[in-house]
Amino acid sequence: MYLEAVLKSSSRHAKPAGLILQYGTAGFRTKAEDLDHVMYRMGLLAVLRSKKTQSAIGVVVTASHNPEEDNGVKLVDPMGEMLAQAWEVYATLLANAEEHELQSVVTDIIQQESINMQEEAFVAIGRDTRPSSETLSQAVIDGVTALEATYHDHGLVTTPQLHYIICCRNTGGRYGETTVVGYYKKLSRAFKELSKQAHGCSDDHKCLNVDGANGIGALKLREMEQYLQSALSVRLYNDGSKGKLNEVCGADYVKVQQKPPEGIEMEAGERCCSFDGDADRIVYYYNDCAGRFHLLDGDKIATLISTFIKELLVKVNLNLQMAVVQTAYANGSSTRYLEETMKVPVYCTKTGVKHLHHKAQEFDIGVYFEANGHGTVLFSKTADEQIRQLAREEASDERRKAAQMLQNTIDLINQTVGDAISDMLVIEAILSLKGLTVQQWDAIYTDLPNRQLKVKVADRKVIETTDAERRTVKPPGLQEKIDGLVKKYSQSRAFVRPSGTEDVVRVYAEADTQENADALAHDVSLAVFHMAGGVGDEPKPLK
Ligand code: 16G
Ligand code: MG
């Protein structure tokens, strides 16, 4: 019986008794040495999910932007989305079951979901460059084979590449060829087609400095270069040959620290971008002539892309509804610019790709980006079909060309999930088509100064939020306190939320000046520290 095999193999991936892990914003994530049993069990879960959905399911071993010593796992659903939220409960139960409970947890899932164990199952596996990832992905494979399912180990891939592969496989190749090479070919073809329509682009447009976070993104970008040929030239830094993964580099570091990564050479005015550790996020930046650093985060990217698409939509004159989806972290200026100047409807959801992605699916064209640089554009089936038809058949040159540009944009963007490489190519194509320098892009609107801080508390779950995490409902009195603090500053806003990936409470503040944003963030941190059970030293003011 299959359960015997499951238990037998499980003894080789035994759970440390008493260890409890939470399914975070995007799967499990913690110190690599605590994850072997989780990986094995996520292999089991992927098989069950595959049988249930009668589709291929993906498993990526990665801890994204976390330190190299950490690891984690993300499950990929049939269309390349993140695992359905209803199944996160099963993931948690499985990960935390003691050895003697494993059998009953597996049986319960099978029963509750009425899974036919005779169904075929297929799991695609990928991993990032962490030293622990290879062994951990072997544990996933052991889980998959314990349930006698078939699998393909794609080895080293970016997270979005595995999402792409799952989508291709489950659409019978309609989304693209089911290989990493297929991904390179599809994206580079669309990029070349789209860029072709740019006139007189100067040399400056051609070279881009890329910080690969010493991770998988660097490796894969290098592989892709042969397909892009001269269409884009990049100077790759932090390619993993010297430094440590995510250490003083990468998109998260740049966004949170608001400074360039180490290990990159940037001349004034040169375009630079950073990927995160699994290449599903990207941020851009540059230094001006005075040596001042400027960050173009997910909000700036969302604005650039949605403006570009909106202009094309006007030209093709199709009745398609576009919206932008953001989170509470979106800079107030970006929301304002989108709503007031661009007249694009904007929606706010909770942090985490799954929330933004689902909201974006409600529109013909849903652009979603988190300020941290994770995002993509979703085109509904209707939008896709109408655009492709116009691109083929339309008699008017202008309309047809605009439709072709939209079609290439659809093919270039990875619609399954945010993708640093794909987003980078979309941005590069738009900048060159519009003849924009990075400074001109940056000048579309001015960010409100902002600050993010973390506060350590004994139990971060004492903080409960509402209104897409913009307000707290617990502990009592905290929101009133924050409201009072916010009133002290102008153009100000602040919120706090428990992190889904780290054992901390996150604080965000924005205000008219950097000093005020810093002061407000500090005030709010103190409130959290005192009202939500802070541990260690009281937060110190920022210098
Ligand atoms: C994960 C999420 C990202 C989110 C971040 C928030 C995915 C694929 N990734 O990296 O979207 O912004 O967590 O982290 O969903 P936090 O909860 O620690 O602030
Ligand atoms: Mg990531």
* pLDDT per residue as tens digits for the range 100-139: 999 999 999 999 999 999 999 999 999 999 999 999 999 9
CA 207 to centroid of ligand 1, rounded, Å: 30
| Ligand 1, CB within 6 Å, residue ranges | 25-26, 64, 351-353, 370, 372, 374, 499-502, 506
Round to whole Å and give the CA distance between 37 and 13: 5
The pLDDT tens digits for 460-478 are: 999 999 999 999 999 999 9
**Residue extent(s) of CATH 3.40.120.10 domains in the chain:** 2-156, 182-294, 298-419
| Structure-block tokens of residue 228 | 């892009």
Region 182-294: CATH code: 3.40.120.10
Ligand nearest to the CA of 282: 2
Categorise residue 424: left if φ over 0, alpha if ψ from -120 to 50, beta otherwise.
alpha
205: pLDDT strictly greater than 80: no
**Residue extent(s) of CATH 3.30.310.50 domains in the chain:** 450-531
Q: Which CATH architecture has domain 2-156?
A: 3-Layer(aba) Sandwich (3.40)
CA distances for 379 relative to 64, 293, 363, 382, 388, angstroms: 26, 34, 8, 8, 12
CATH superfamily, with its number, for domain 298-419:
Alpha-D-Glucose-1,6-Bisphosphate, subunit A, domain 3 (3.40.120.10)
Which of 10, 64, 133, 492 is the catalytic position? 64
Task: Using most ligand atoms within 8 A of CB, pick from 83, 351, 423, 499 the residue to mutate for ligand 1.
Answer: 351
CA distances for 361 relative to 200, 244, 356, angstroms: 36, 37, 9
512: pLDDT strictly greater than 80: yes
Mean pLDDT of the chain: 95
66: pLDDT strictly greater than 60: yes
Residue type, 94: L
Ligand nearest to the CA of 217: 2
Q: Which DSSP string do the residues of 38-84 spell out, in sequence order?
A: HHHHHHHHHHHHHHHHTSEEEEEE--TTS-TTEEEEEEE-TTS-BPP
pLDDT at 360: 98
Is this model's pTM higher than 0.85 or not?
yes
**In 258-342, where does DSSP find H-type helix?**
298-316, 332-336
Q: Which residue has the higher pLDDT, 306 or 200?
A: 306
Residue 64 is a catalytic residue? yes
Task: Using most ligand atoms within 8 A of CB, pick from 65, 81, 501, 506 the residue to mutate for ligand 1.
Answer: 501
pLDDT at 154: 98
Task: Using most ligand atoms within 8 A of CB, pick from 22, 23, 25 the residue to mutate for ligand 1.
Answer: 25
pLDDT at 207: 87
Beta pairing, strands 282-287 & 272-275: antiparallel
Instruction: Specify whether domain 450-531 bears CATH 3.40.1370.10.
Output: no
CA 74 to centroid of ligand 2, rounded, Å: 10
CA dihedral 519, 520, 522, 526 (to 10 degrees): 140
Round to whole Å and give the CA distance between 430 and 437: 11
The answer to whether 139 touches 145, Cβ cutoff 8 Å, is no
1: pLDDT strictly greater than 70: no
